[in-house]
Amino acid sequence: MCGDEDIIRKFMLAAYDNDMTSGDYVFISLTLLPSERVTAPWVRHDARDNDAMKAYQPLLEVQIIILNVY
């Protein structure tokens, strides 16, 4: 899936709410630049942070950095 951090978090929380994060599914996220929240992309300092942390366990996040090296 592709999207900004908030969309991915909402998607992963929906997957968690539907019991899709227990190991039967793997989710892949592709982002073009590193996130500002590289170490904890699920954190929003709200009531769902714990659920979001669990929801991100089956998520493989691929971050692509485009370097202009000449």
User: How many angstroms separate the CA atoms of 43 and 10, rounded?
Assistant: 12
Question: CA separation (Å) from 48 to 17, 43, 63?
Answer: 11, 9, 24
The answer on pLDDT for 66 being more than 80 is: no
Structure confidence by residue, pLDDT tens digits, 14-62: 999 999 999 999 999 988 776 665 678 889 999 999 999 999 999 998 8
> Measuring CA to CA, which residue among 37, 38, 28, 18 is closest to residue 62?
28
Radius of gyration from C-alpha coordinates of the chain:
13
What's the burial of 49, exposed, middle or buried (CB within 10 Å: 0-12/13-18/19+)? Answer: middle
